[in-house]
Amino acid sequence: MDKLFMVSFLGMLMAVYGVSGNMVYANIGVLNELESFDIEEDNEVNVFDIPSWTSERGCKVLVNVDSFGAVGDGISDDTQAFQKAWDIACSTTQSVFLVPQGRQYLVNATKFQGPCKDNLVIQIDGTIVAPDEPNDWDPKFSRAWLDFSKLNGVLFQGHGVIDGSGSKWWASSCKKNKTNPCRGAPTALTIDKSSAVKVKGLKIRNGQQMNFVISQCDSVRVNAVQVSAPGDSPNTDGIHITSSTNVVLQDCKIGTGDDCISIVNGTSNIKMKRIFCGPGHGISIGSLGKDNSTAIVTKVVVDTAILRETANGLRIKTWQGGSGYVRGVRFQNVRMENVSNPIIIDQFYCDSPKSCQNLTSAVEINQVMYRNISGTTKSAKAMKFACSDTVPCSNIVLTNVNLEKKDGTVETYCNSAQGFGYGIVHPSAECLNSHDKDCMVITDPASKVELADPSREEIVHTEL
């Protein structure tokens, strides 16, 4: 067989693929089955083609950032190498964009844009670090560091780390020091305008602001991802989901200085299963409705979670003056460990330097179920349903809830909230059913979420 494949891509010069010693890893079977080609040492190869049989045989084409000049010493600027490697990987069918293990790659804010050829794998085994100085940050990329967009059918995986080097950003936040101007900082990892995306096993840490944002996506599976940032780092949400549908987060461990998971406007069919959260502000729907905006969130399920030492547990937060709705939410099988506000709906959310006034409009909250929630609370108000006076919360259902405070009693706070509890509910949720008991049986075919008679034991069935 010919030892070199020399044809050009789109007539352009390309760098050598995956050179390691005198071997070229031009393709790999299923990532671990490496096949290699000998390359004659005295040959300078600038142009390297992928033989067509590789894709016919289902082989993967390895595009190693090291082959494009990445140094991986944590000091050299590897931005250009990543960009070049991306351009090749994206334009090659069945390619693997590889960030190899054992090294640290310093990379500036970069847009990794699709659409790409089919079956792209982004294999991150090494560490990618961001430059740590906010003053040197290119303002063109003010809100995103590693920004992947317009991808379809890609897999992100590996044992590697994405490290936003956020400490100087946190120190310059107005949340840390009121003399600092309030400005946004970049998100470490963004996946935007994409579909059929899988993310498996990555570690994301020290985001400049949010750690991982999923925006304008459909069909995303996130598995065994770990997110970490210090408990006092400002606004470092773990995983933030916005304007996206059909997202599943599973087996994720998240500890940050803000929400472990935040789910905001334009989301539907979001499922979180086996989540560990802490430290942080808990699992949040919201905030929603800021600056009189409209928000719609439907069909959200949290199933099996542990929240440890978090400021909130399961929270829905909306600003006064918003509109739209949150409808069809199920929280179940959740264990709270020393959580300040284990169950909370807060329609008076106000995260601005000046106080917020009460307005007549609000994001409506309807059909929220809490099932099998137990553990310990730090505050006496273990359950708080603080709903808008003009737009009450409705159909809040609780069953098998048991929250206790180590030393002292617990209580439920209700303002303008309607619903009921059955089975064990501690503290009692009596304040929910002060009126309108006729509303206990409701079917909403539009959202495929049913609230059935409690005796039928199939409360809030959300199809996911």
Ligand X SMILES: *[C@@H]1O[C@H](CO)[C@@H](O)[C@H](O)[C@H]1NC(C)=O
Question: Which positions lie near ligand X, rule CB under 6 A?
Answer: 77, 79-80, 108, 131, 136, 177, 179, 243, 265-266, 291-294, 321, 333-335, 338, 348, 357-359, 372, 374, 378, 389, 415
Minimum distance of ligand X from residue 317's CB (angstroms): 14
| Shortest spacing between CB 340 and ligand X, in angstroms | 8
Q: How far apart are alpha carbons 383 and 421 in whole angstroms?
A: 12
281 is catalytic: yes
> What whole-number distance in Å separates Cα of residue 392 and Cα of residue 174?
34
Using omega within 30 degrees of 0 as the cis cutoff, is the peptide bond preceding 392 cis? no
3-state secondary structure (DSSP) of residue 289 = coil
**Residue closer to ligand X (CB basis): 48 or 112:** 112
Query: Which residue minimizes CB distance to ligand X?
Result: 266
Q: Which is nearer to ligand X, 378 or 448 (CB)?
A: 378
Residue 30 C-beta: closest distance to ligand X, Å: 33
Q: For ligand X, give the closer residue by CB, 175 or 448.
A: 175
Nearest-approach distance from CB 286 to ligand X, in angstroms: 13
Of the pair 6, 380, the CB lying nearest ligand X is at: 380
The least CB distance from residue 99 to ligand X, in Å, is 16
Q: Which tokens sit at 238?
A: 């773990």
**Beta-carbon count within 10 A of 180 CB:** 12
Q: If you search the block for the tokens 């999923």, which residue do you land on?
A: 214
Closest distance to ligand X from the beta carbon of 403 (Å): 12
Q: Collect all residues with Cβ–Cβ distance below 8 Å to 446 and sequence separation of at least 6.
A: none
Beta pairing partners, 329: 300, 368
Give the Å distances, CA to CA, from 308 to 207, 254, 371, 378.
21, 11, 18, 11
Q: What is the SS3 assignment for 334?
A: strand
Token pair for 337: 């460990």
DSSP type of residue 331: E
Is 43 or 357 the residue whose CB approaches ligand X more closely?
Answer: 357
Cis peptide before 287 (omega within 30 of 0): yes
What order of strands is seen across the sheet that includes strand 23-28? 19-20, 23-28, 34-38
| Alpha carbons 462 and 456: distance in angstroms, whole number | 15
Taking the complex as a whole, how short is the minimal distance between the CB of residue 177 and ligand X, in angstroms? 4
Nearer to ligand X, 359 or 439 (CB): 359
Q: Measuring CA to CA, which residue among 105, 215, 119, 238 is closest to residue 160?
A: 105
Q: What is the dihedral of CA 56, 62, 67, 72, to 10 degrees?
A: 170
Q: Pick the catalytic residue from 159, 281, 426, 435.
A: 281
The encoded tokens of residue 62 equal 């390895």
- What is the amino acid identity at position 249? L
Tokens 């994720």: give the residue: 252
* C-beta closer to ligand X: residue 363 or 449: 363
Active site residues: 281
